[in-house]
Amino acid sequence: MRKLVKSLFTSFLGFALLFTGIPLSGAAAASEIKDLVIDLNVPQVTREVSENKLDLNALHVYENGRFMMASENVKWKSSNKNVASVSKDGEVTLSGHNGKTFISVSDGSYRDRISIQFKGNQDKVLVEKEKGTRYDLIGSAIKNMSMEEKVGQMLMPDFRTWKGQNVTVMNDEIAKLVKDYHLGGVILFRENTVTADQTTKLVSAYQDAAEKYGLLISIDQEGGIVTRLQTGTDMPGNMALGATRSEETAEKVGKAIGEELNALGINMNFGPVLDVNNNPDNPVIGVRSFSENPELVGKLGNAYIKGLHETGTAATAKHFPGHGDTAVDSHIGLSEVPHDIDRLKRVELYPFQQAMDAGIDAIMTAHVTFPKIDDTKAISKKDGTEIAVPATLSHKVLTGLMREDMGFKGVIVTDAMNMGAISEHFGPVDAAIRAVKAGADILLMPVGIEAVANGIYAAVNSGDISEDRLEQSVERVLTLKLNRSIVKAEVEKSLDEKVANAFQVVGSPEHKAIEKEAAEKSITLVKNDAVLPLNVSHEDKIVVVGGSGFSINLLADEVKKHHPGAVYVNASGPLNAGQLAQVQGAKYIIVGTYTSSVGGRAQDASQMVMTRQLIKTGVPVIAVGARNPYDVMSYKDVDAYLVQYGFRPASFEAAANTIFGKNNPTGKLPVTIYNHDGSVLYGFDHGLGY
């Protein structure tokens, strides 16, 4: 009776407010609430206890199937505080005492609870969920969605630019697209993320534009050469972490990256790269990989993922089934990995299986062909030739291998659908339909959001794609959102509060310290003919040579901190007479080379010729490989060679500190360095110290 009276009253109140022109939201929202549920009671939701803490959220469930973070009149309680206490925000803290407690939440009308038991002798926390149809939030949400809303959850476009201008603030046209196509997420790029406050405001505006469910706001913040935030902490990158051999460091880096993204409102990272870089000629992965060794990639990848997860940030392993043994950049062409399934399981697939077993949220596909897994052919729209179907569009790879064989239950996201390997050979709509039919849950950066959305609608209406197929993906996407607390709140934090937090977290001294530590541990001394560490007097002349276009000017700046009189020669090719005159009289030459492809380190490549020219002067030469470690293969007679695996300032600082003896090199090669004839020059795990 009380509920009926309450319902009639709120209906009358809503009508009265509508008649008088007063906004409806509070009254209408209250009348539509039908339950209050703890998110961890939802069957699909999993959450780890981290440092004796477990985050719980109270969700209001509405008549139309949507759910939101409950914000007002929410009271949490623990039945046994000796076992665990709970904060007003639902953060459970375990005391370490054995026993069982019920954590309950109430809003005055509805109530829910969950059981938590701690078994100290087994060091186990057992969470016992409540059961019943009331917890089928995801099923209910899907049942109440239109077909167009379901498709929208699977679309993740980029709005890098709009009408030729970088998108740094929300505009009405983009907000309308988010609403009209019910978008499930967006991806941000460097063009969108200029400052901490601007990025926070842009992200908040995206979430405001989403009508029902929180948006996945994703970004490629791998660290190292692929970093998108213009402010913040870059970190040295994966291969640098591979050189440290430290899972602890990898976890700290992942956590720092996650904390910065979380502070900006970015909730999904497209990292880590789990490709095994066993092909030195790979033009697109290289130092984005931890190593050529599958076990090391798996260990460090899982540590990095753990760090991200500790911050509530969704992690994405890429590029499945493996982009490491390729010699073509899939941004511009279609590459092939020729190996059979046994070899793939030993090498390429191994780190992905480790990540799946550890609970990775999402896996990104590779626009690469794997003919031993799927030899299906298609006719290229580029030139009419017969081509192999890449993994992104392959049912045998995404559903057969990843889902059925390897048991992955999380979200499959495509690599960017506008990349050459896809866009040149398959039309935008055809590629999108193929990817959905193959088993992809999220289409990243579809070419032409309106055309692709309408193309999928038509495919569903014609029966080419079943609505059941859409619902499988939407369930996985909503599960990810609930797992990572990506749910719209009834009352959001103020924008000022979000911005203040972002300023405090992004680029913090603590994160810069982690970056510095990782960079210093990564420096690998590959060769040293009794030259390093340098012992120089004030009068000694040191010359630093290398192209500013390759950031070698940063190395010169760091050298000058140790030796203010150092001379910098900005060159990336054979030195002319004037430049050679600047080198004359030097006691030591430090040269930085930067290559990203096999062509860059060919014997006749300009930087390699320049370095050998310096060696011929008879002055001791210390070379620094500023990116890929393989450069020394073209200047083997150098007196000393260090690798830093990336061009960010922290890595140049660590290299200079090592050259002058302020940092003892401890890094070990995560890859093998070969001679041009294919023989081994320096083996995996090689590394010298002082």
CA-to-CA dists, residue 363 to 18, 44, 398, 408, 472, angstroms: 47, 18, 10, 9, 16
Spatial separation of the C-alpha atoms in residues 586 and 619, rounded to whole Å: 7
CA-to-CA dists, residue 47 to 78, 298, 410, angstroms: 19, 22, 14
Q: Is the peptide bond before 294 cis (omega within 30 degrees of 0)?
A: no
Q: 392 in helix, strand or coil?
A: helix
Three-state SS string over 610-634 comes to HHHHHHCCCCCEEEEECCCHHHHHH
Is 415 an annotated catalytic residue? yes
Query: Out of 136, 208, 281, 331, which one is annotated catalytic?
Result: 331
- Which of these, 638, 690, 682, 645, lies nearest to 665 by C-alpha position? 690
- Which of these, 414, 411, 449, lies nearest to 428 by C-alpha position? 449
- Which of these, 245, 251, 265, 195, lies nearest to 223 by C-alpha position? 251
How many residues in total does the chain contain? 690
Tokens 């609930």 correspond to what residue? 482
Alpha helices, DSSP H, located in 567-665: 577-583, 606-615, 649-659
- Torsion (CA) 434, 436, 438, 441 in degrees, nearest 10: 150
Q: Within a 10 A sphere around the Cβ of 125, how many other Cβ atoms?
A: 16
- Residue 109 main-chain phi, psi, to 5 deg: -115, -40
Spatial separation of the C-alpha atoms in residues 686 and 690, rounded to whole Å: 14
Hey, CA dihedral for 488, 491, 496, 497, is it positive or negative? negative
Beta bridge partners of 93: 53, 85
Query: Out of 325, 415, 631, 639, which one is annotated catalytic?
Result: 415
Yes or no: say if 370 and 341 are a contact pair by the CB < 8 Å rule.
no
Largest Cα–Cα distance of the chain, in whole Å?
Answer: 97
- Please, which residues have CB within 8 angstroms of residue 62's CB and are 6 or more apart in sequence? 29, 32, 33, 34, 68
Q: Within a 10 A sphere around the Cβ of 450, how many other Cβ atoms?
A: 11
- Residue 179 main-chain phi, psi, to 5 deg: -75, -50
Q: What is the CA radius of gyration of the chain?
A: 28
- Please, which residues have CB within 8 angstroms of residue 343's CB and are 6 or more apart in sequence? none
Spatial separation of the C-alpha atoms in residues 376 and 397, rounded to whole Å: 11
Yes or no: say if 541 and 585 are a contact pair by the CB < 8 Å rule.
yes
Q: For 182, left (φ over 0), alpha (ψ -120 to 50), or beta? A: left
List the catalytic residues: 331, 415
